[in-house]
Amino acid sequence: MSAGERDNRGTGGRIRARRLDLGIRQAGLAARLGISASYLNLIEHDRRRIGGRLLNAIARELDTEPGVLAEGAEVGLLDALRTAAAMVRHDAAPHGGAAAGGEAAVAATAAVTDAAGRAGAAGPGPAARPASLAEPGSPPELDRLEAFAAAYPGWAGLLAAQARHIAQRDQALATLSDRLTHDPFLSESMHALLSAATSIRATATILRDEPELEPDWRARFHRNLDSDGQRLADTARALAAYLDGAADPAQAAAASPQEEVEAWLAARNYRLPELETELEPGLNPDADPHDVFDPSGPGRAHVRDTGADSPAAASGDAGAQPQQRSPGAVPTSPPGFAALLSAPDAPQSAAGRALARAHLSRARDEARAMPRAALLAELAHGIDPARIAARFGVGPGAALRRLGGLEAAAAGRPFGLILCDGTGTTTFRRPLDGFALPRFGAGCPLWPLYQTLGRPGWPLRAVLELPGQPARRFTAWAVAETRRAGGFDGPEIVEAAMLLTPGADALRTLGGADSGPPPPDPVGTSCRICPRGGCLARREPSVLAASEEGGGLS
């Protein structure tokens, strides 16, 4: 079965295809899962729905990720190819033709397509020559994108990977250029070098032109030469060390310290077992599942959360997140970060290590407040961040971040997480298969993440529908919280979090009323590669709607 046919199959079809690829008999897999072969057969033919725990168990037996079985592996590839096409058009448009980088990307696309066409051509005679080779600089054929990815997934993956590397190098180049222009250390170092050299030159000129100087003055000038020379050497040594650090491959691998930290966490599958504690959770068995603690300090009030139409917490400092502990519970000593940050795979740059230390500090505090075993026990009753926040006495943002740090094998389903500050700038991203989180630039303005920035403390939950055939749906929870920095009258700092998981059934909770998922909200990933027409929130034309006037701008 081709990759194009796999795209149209459900979860059961992908399970069956993976099982056959591994040469596992249906009866053998069913026995390992503890279910009957007939029931597994119904699942593989999409005649029975599959729960998160069973899907997770099947994924383990088939040595794959649950998200690949649930959503398919081609979705992320298509998003990456659309992003590559957007890069090419962005390079070509401002100059009235393809720029050097754009022409190279178009040529690479054409070469890959031509090579793939020759490799897959059936029958005698050479393969048809693509139009992009006949007309250099023409845009990629977006209407043939899915067919290309389905017929030649290997070439498509290679092209997508190259586009990602180009984007990373471009971002690194822009960062270094800006650094050379505005870096205060570099500017101060060059100024100090020039000042020391000028001072040495002036002193040497005086000593040369005034041979009859008194001994006291001559000794003073000699001391000046010595001190200026020492200052010049120290400044040059510091500047050399600084430039050597900037040229270090370990530091140059990531375009920014944030990317360095995210790559480190991704390599660990976002797990930090060193920070987990044995502290008993401060569960409140009498708490209303729809109550959320107001994280404003001792004596915090409960505020009923009825979904997206109610505030999450009472007035107060919504950014503070005190930890509710059982009476008499004694916290264990927090593990040091030295072992984590001294590992070979840890961030190497000073800025990256500072960001990693801040991430570890908050993750440690939230692991104390929401111990892993107790959190997973709560999660078994359904994904309800409001209930989880109430049980552990934390803010809703902490609950979203803690859930976003769980791996799919433990949670029974994959999670994605994105954090941003009050300007909408992404400060952390954990990608989710099928839901592309832009590496550079902002996401869709219609995401709950950005909507909640204008209403801190007011949670939003929604079912998001991304364009595609078939359309992909995800459940999202978002909340923005504030904190005061620098005392009572200090500036207000806003941070928003959005948790994502595939499917629209995640809003259902065990033992609660099942009214079904709400109508989905049509969103995109980024305006540049979003094909939706007539979007009132669009900020720039889409390369996928170039045939429309204004590229889909309303």
Could you tell me if 239 and 193 are in contact, meaning their C-beta atoms sit under 8 angstroms apart? yes
Class of domain 3-72 as given by CATH:
mainly alpha
The tens digit of pLDDT for each residue in 269-284 reads 888 888 775 444 444 4
151: which DSSP letter? H
Report the range out of 248-262, 410-424, 538-552 with the highest average pLDDT: 410-424
- Taking Cα atoms as reference points, which of 370, 445, 355 lies closest to residue 401? 370
The tens digit of pLDDT for each residue in 129-164 reads 333 333 445 677 777 776 777 678 788 888 888 888
Beta-carbon contacts of residue 295 (< 8 Å; ≥ 6 apart): 313, 316, 317, 318, 319, 320, 321, 322, 394, 395, 398, 481
Q: Domain spans of the chain? A: 3-72, 75-180, 183-247, 261-523
The tens digit of pLDDT for each residue in 505-537 reads 666 544 344 556 678 889 988 887 787 878 888
Stretch 450-461: mean pLDDT: 91
Q: What is the pTM of this model?
A: 0.53
Strand 472-484 versus strand 492-502 pairing type: antiparallel
Stretch 168-195: mean pLDDT: 73
